[in-house]
Amino acid sequence: MKSKTRFLTALLMLLILTTSIPFAFAEGEAISGQCGNNVYWSYNETTATLTIDGTGDMWDYDTNNESPFRAFYREMMIANVHNGVTGLGSYSFYNCSSLKSVSLPNSLLKIGARAFACCDDLESIVIPDSVTELGEGVFFGGGWSTNLKSVVLGNGLTSVPKNTFLRCFSLESVSLGQNIQRIEKYAFMQCQRLSEINIPDSVSYIGEEAFYQCYNLTQIHLSENVKTIEGSAFVMSGLTSLTIPSSVTRIQDGAFMNCEDLEQLVISSGVKEIGFGAFGMMTGRPDEYDTLKEITVPESVDVIESLAFSRAHLEKLTVLNPNCSFLEDESMDQCTIVRESTTLYGYENSTTQQYAEKYGLTFVSIGEEPQTMDMDLFQRIIEWIRSVIARIIEILHISF
């Protein structure tokens, strides 16, 4: 009787154990659920593949409300999003550290904030042309643990949002769609290996610290459509040559500060103001890294602010506006716009000469200030010429 009781008890415990394990979690079986009103997910453990199917948008998630497939974040290697899905929710794949491959459909219209942030093993991704909206920090990185190297952003996007590639240390190349108009602040901040990026002619705005500490970025092309380059946009980037287009009227504070590899700088006519520390080298940076020798400031520039050209190896600064204003901190008894070793070139009796004499800098004259015609007189001459031509035409008409 006792042995029979023991047998029944053991059988009952075995039954309880087996029935407590959900069938869906059996080895190799697809585990599934809902992640949007009409969007569903399934995961195959054998292939480490997540599939998202259905129509419409996924739900948004965050660190306090994680996605329903969060249990597989550490093992998931492949994510396939099928046609019909129009939106990936915020934090959808956040911290999926083993994710290596992502397939996105042409039905996709938007990708939520930090959807692929801290996906350490993801090396490349293509955003289709159908996508018109990215949330902030979609590819936000974890520093050197993030292996993202190559990204293609489709032609449907009009901006690269804030923090999109922040701290993606391994990112090497980015292809921007041809309709990008704005690169927002911190977009490529600390992309230390970024060496190749096309800035399309459609771009008109580059935000604050957008390319901060992009050490390997040696070349960029800025079209005449670029109107605003915000403060510290390219601080400590690896630029070796640079042309500021005439469409930029003010070079903001610190925009190109500590660009120690800069060897050639062209400031186009059209620029009116050069802000605080725009091209300067910060105090404490080793002087041997400073390579820029000569700069010419065009006649269009009316204002140069403190520390704008403070570089140890800058030998020659030529200012072509005879009435340019040099804005210094009057509380200081020394010049800061340039170092004392820089020679200033300008016209006789110009504000450049006055500035040099005030602070004991070497000044070299480039001649007398060019005489410009009085604009009122010029207009009167034009009107007189027009009236003469009109009278001649009238006479000829009468003759015939």
C-alpha distances in Å from residue 239, one per residue of 211, 220, 259, 261, 292: 11, 8, 6, 6, 11
| Closest to 162 measured CA to CA, from 141, 183, 179 | 183
pLDDT band at 349 (very low <50, low <70, confident <90, very high): very high
C-alpha distances in Å from residue 201, one per residue of 31, 98, 153, 227: 47, 37, 15, 11
Q: Is 270 exposed, middle or buried (0-12, 13-18, 19+ CB in 10 A)?
A: middle
Most confident of 9-18, 61-70, 385-394: 61-70
The pTM (predicted TM-score) of the whole model is 0.84
| CATH architecture of residue range(s) 239-394 | Alpha-Beta Horseshoe (3.80)
Assigned token pair, 238 = 């690896």
What's the distance, CA 190 to chain centroid? 10
The proportion of the chain whose per-residue pLDDT surpasses 90, expressed as a percent, equals 77
Kindly report, residue by residue over 237-284, the tens digit of the pLDDT.
999 999 999 999 999 999 999 999 999 999 999 999 999 999 999 755
Identify the pLDDT of residue 154: 97
Identify the pLDDT of residue 309: 96
Instruction: Tell me the average pLDDT across 58-81.
Output: 95
Q: Are 219 and 237 in contact (CB under 8 A)?
A: no
Quote the CA–CA distance of 357 and 209 in Å, as a whole number: 36
Q: What residue has token string 């899905």? A: 85
pLDDT band at 398 (very low <50, low <70, confident <90, very high): low
Residue 394 vs residue 140, higher pLDDT: 140
Q: What angle do CA 106, 112, 118 make, to 5 degrees?
A: 105
Q: Is 364 helix (H, G, I), strand (E, B) or coil?
A: strand
C-alpha distances in Å from residue 43, one per residue of 69, 329, 368: 8, 64, 79
Residue 346 vs residue 380, higher pLDDT: 346
Identify the pLDDT of residue 383: 80
CB atoms within 10 A of CB 31: 18
Q: What angle do CA 116, 118, 123 make, to 5 degrees?
A: 75
| Closest to 138 measured CA to CA, from 104, 109, 165 | 165
Kindly report, residue by residue over 107-127, the tens digit of the pLDDT.
999 999 999 999 999 999 999
pLDDT band at 144 (very low <50, low <70, confident <90, very high): confident
What integer best gives the mean pLDDT of the chain? 89
Quote the CA–CA distance of 160 and 162 in Å, as a whole number: 7
Quote the CA–CA distance of 76 and 97 in Å, as a whole number: 8
Q: Kindly report which listed range (143-157, 278-292, 361-375) carries the lowest average pLDDT score.
A: 278-292
Kindly report, residue by residue over 21-30, the tens digit of the pLDDT.
333 444 444 5
Q: Are 280 and 311 in contact (CB under 8 A)?
A: yes
Instruction: Tell me the average pLDDT across 275-303.
Output: 86
